[in-house]
Amino acid sequence: MSTLPVVAAVDGSDDSLRALDWAVDAARRRAAPLRVAHVRQYAHWVQPEVLAAGPADQQDDSVLDQVRAHLESRPDQPQTEYVGLVGAAGAVLPELGSGAQLLVLGSRGRGGFASLVLGSNSMAAARDAECPVVVVPRPGREVHGEAPGGPGSRVVVGLKVDGPDEATLEFAFAEATRRGARLQAVAAYPWPAQPWMMPGEMPPAIVDQDVIEDETRVLADGFLAPYRERHTDVPVELVPAAGDAAGHLVAASLDADLVVVGRHRRRLLSPVRMMGSVTHAVLLHAASPVAVIPPSPSED
């Protein structure tokens, strides 16, 4: 059975070349082939219903020529395939994930407004692709808050104690194993507690934050236990964190190898794929690459 490739989406921008370098390393760590894809955008006047991709003339693709030149001197280059497509990139890029184990792209491409920190194509791929999507940000993003110290590689994962994503945790542990990194699991809990009360109701007893944090730690430890058993080589640091989950994950992204977050599961009354506010915020502000993991079929 052939190994699914790591797909790098390129458009000639510096952002996409940084993503390409990340994808080369990811393919090497997975002993997987690399597929480099360039989607030539339809002109803006093309009807929006024209979304299907078609093959392009790869002999006349300056972007793929640039990528070949960028990679040819690398001694560790994996087996590489170059694919040129023509279509609407926001629709074509997610489709590339159906035949990949990982889709990697930059935070912004050549199009769009210079002020945007996350391009629409990156957002569409992270929201809609069937495989995990890694978005590589531009260097120099400012991150506020205190980053965790400690030497060595570090993979950060967001852990929802009210409904953990199995696919997200498995991906994070596997990535930490590949990198020889420690795993930092951030389990956020709401604080301060703000209970809803009906008119005339007595206010509830004062909630002790230490109690909530201890309960969060116990729940999170239970969820992490089977993954620790399967990945005994991965040191795990559990961080119960009060308040905004996105803020804690962004702060933890400073000097991290990767931040891993889950994508929203589909809901009965909203069957379309959704990004989720925490995942969206992390993509916008994290200083490290961000992996967005779709739920497993049993969870979706």
Q: Where does the pLDDT of residue 145 fall: very low under 50, low under 70, confident under 90, or very high at 90 and above?
A: low
Question: Span 189-193, mean pLDDT?
Answer: 75
Query: Is the model more confident about 225 or about 276?
Result: 225
User: Domains plus CATH for the chain?
Assistant: 6-136 (3.40.50.620), 154-293 (3.40.50.620)
DSSP structure string for the chain: -PPPPEEEEE-SSHHHHHHHHHHHHHHHHHT--EEEEEEEEPPTTS-TT----EE--GGG-HHHHHHHHHHTT-TTPPPEEEEEEEE-HHHHHHHHGGG-SEEEEES--SSS-TT-SS-HHHHHHHHH-SS-EEEEPPTT----SPPP--SS-EEEEE--TTS--HHHHHHHHHHHHHHT-EEEEEEEE--S------TTPPPPPPPPHHHHHHHHHHHHHHHHHHHHHH-TTS-EEEEEEES-HHHHHHHHTTT-SEEEEEPPPPBTTB-S----HHHHHHHHH-SS-EEEEPPPTTT-
**pLDDT for res 51:** 40
Q: Are the beta carbons of 189 and 212 closer than 8 angstroms?
A: yes
**High-pLDDT (> 90) share of the chain, %:** 55
Q: Where does the pLDDT of residue 148 fall: very low under 50, low under 70, confident under 90, or very high at 90 and above?
A: low
Q: Are the beta carbons of 123 and 273 closer than 8 angstroms?
A: no
**Amino acid in position 256:** A
**pLDDT for res 72:** 86
Q: State pTM to two decimals.
A: 0.85
Phi, psi of 48 (to 5 degrees): -65, -20
Question: Span 75-81, mean pLDDT?
Answer: 89
Measuring CA to CA, how many Å separate 252 from each of 66, 74, 89, 120, 186?
34, 31, 31, 25, 9
Name the nearest CA neighbour of 99 among 131, 140, 52, 126: 131
Query: Is the model more confident about 216 or about 53?
Result: 216
- Tell me the C-alpha distance between 88 and 13, whole Å: 18
* pLDDT tens digits, one per residue of 97-109: 999 999 999 987 5
**pLDDT for res 299:** 54
pLDDT at 10 over 60: yes
